[in-house]
Copies of this chain bind each other. A is one copy, B any other.
Amino acid sequence: MATEIPDIVIGRLPIYLRELRRLQAEHDKLTTSSHELGERLGISSAQIRKDLSHFGEFGKQGTGYHIGYLVDQLCQILHLDQVWPVVLVGAGSLGTALAYYDGFRPRGFEIRWIFDTDPSKIGHEINGMCIQAISELEETIARHKIAVAIIATPASAAQEVTDFLIESGIKAILSYAPLHLSAPAGVHISYSDPVTELQRMTYYLG
């Protein structure tokens, strides 16, 4: 029982959740089907049903899925029945944009601390948060039991920052630095590098 659920399945759950919330916002309909959801996402209905079936039986034959109920279930599965406090490292233009982004909070995350090494930035405010020195990072993470971090530093600093975050207790990192980061098992890392994404697409262009 409870055999390991593939990571690729986990990765689709937030996509399902996102689209279900859109359905909630757009319609007054209370239910949807794997077919409708699949249509909207470009995913086969069979795959959606199979993915969900790893976690339980959330639908009803003949009528489909109750949207609100499925949203609740997915939130529970993904541990989104809380708001995760997040530390941001790097207060450059990308870090600043992230600090102002209002899309985190309604979906379960909140950047609450910003760190940078640049002495000329420390003490300045971004979106109500005071930029702090990296030297205060460890204590902040420990005191508030923070598990999630975002790295928006130059590539040259990213591995060092990663090591330090992990030492301090961080378990999940989203990195915007364009390089592979080393981390021990049990620490999760996601990447966002616009250039690798663009390069993948230009393969297909003349």
Contact = CB atoms under 8 A, between A and B. Distances in A.
Interface of A: 10-11, 13-15, 17-19, 22, 40-42, 77-80, 84, 86, 92-94, 96-98, 100-101, 103-104, 107-109, 147-148, 150, 171-172, 174, 178-180, 182, 188, 190, 192-206
A74 to B, nearest CB: 9
Copies of this chain in the oligomer = 2
A58 B110 CA distance: 47
B107 A199 contact: yes
Give 9 nearest A-B pairs by CB, closest first. A172-B201, A14-B199, A14-B196, A93-B97, A190-B197, A97-B97, A188-B201, A107-B195, A94-B97
Nearest to A172: B201
Nearest to A191: B197
Contact of A203 (B13, B86, B93, B205): B13
